[in-house]
Amino acid sequence: MRSRELSFSFVVATAFLIVVAAGGDLRADQHWEKPDEGFGQPISEEDLELWDIAIETPTGDNLPPGEGTVADGEEVYAERCQSCHGPEAQGGEDYMYGTMVGGIGTMTENPRVLTPGSMYPHAPILFDYVRRAMPLDNPHSLTPDQVYAVSAYIYHLNGLIDEDYVMNAETITAIEMPNRDAFIEDDRPDTANERCMEDCDPIGTVADADAAEGSDTEAGDEPDAGDAVEGEEVGGGGTGGQVEMGTEEDEENGEDGGN
């Protein structure tokens, strides 16, 4: 019994050694014959271009050549988008997504209606988004002409451009988005606020207080105090709902403290 086991493992071990030795030799040979290979190869500029699709705003840099009309876009939309976004981009219960039209006056209301017309400060963002992510079931399948066209159609539905608009890298960059100034620069983590861990003011009231009293922070913080004023102007209506909800009574009750 014992000797059979021994000889069996001896055979296995020997076989293993032979395989390893042979493999080791082979690999060593290959290495010496082709010393430059082994860790892939340098990526070419051509390959990189396929991935380099981020569009700069507000300049529109990196928008590709091509163009499309509102009418072309209506066709692209019917074929490639309508099944999820509904007729005329109105969305709704029978579709996968809500409306992509309107909402332009709601930036300081609650609820805000966020659509490409209302929530993009720069028009080329729509091009970037659609080319990158849509149609959801087959992204990267549209040509630049098709993306220009369907972007024109969506902005036309939002009342931002005429029916005869021809969209290309120049014209899309020239569109003035209605809520362009309704955004503040997100410069986190550089913030003038001091961390508050207990007995904190309700969210949305700190900027108001700073703006009213003037800045009580140190001299170096001046530019940030300016930002806070801007944020208060713009977001005032939007955060108003939150201030109402987070009253002092709530804090005393402590029940909704987590919200």
Candidates 133-141, 168-176, 192-200, 213-221 — which segment interacts with ligand HEC by CB under 6 A? 133-141
Binding track over 160-189 against ligand HEC, x by CB under 6 A: ------------------------------
The answer to the question of residue 129 lying near ligand HEC (CB under 6 A) is yes
The DSSP annotation for 8-33 comes to HHHHHHHHHHHHHHHHHHHHHHHHHH
In whole angstroms, what is the distance from residue 194 CA to residue 218 CA?
Answer: 12
Q: What phi and psi, each to the nearest 5 degrees, are found at residue 69?
A: -100, 170
Q: What is the CB-side half-sphere exposure of residue 17 using CA atoms within 13 A?
A: 6
Q: Which of 63, 107, 150, 152 binds ligand HEC (CB under 6 A)?
A: 150
Q: What tokens were used for 62?
A: 């990196």
For the chain, the residue count is 259
Q: How far is the CB of 168 from ligand HEC (least distance, A)?
A: 17
Q: Which is nearer to ligand HEC, 66 or 240 (CB)?
A: 66
d(CA 231, CA 251): 25
Q: Which is nearer to ligand HEC, 166 or 243 (CB)?
A: 166
Q: Return d(Cα 119, Cα 123) in angstroms, integer.
A: 10
Asked if 131 interacts with ligand HEC (CB under 6 A), we say no
Footprint of ligand HEC on 72-111 (CB under 6 A) = 80-81, 83-85, 96-97, 100
Side chain identity, residue 18: I
User: What does the binding site for ligand HEC look like in residue numbers (CB under 6 A)?
Assistant: 80-81, 83-85, 96-97, 100, 114-116, 126, 129-130, 134-137, 142, 150
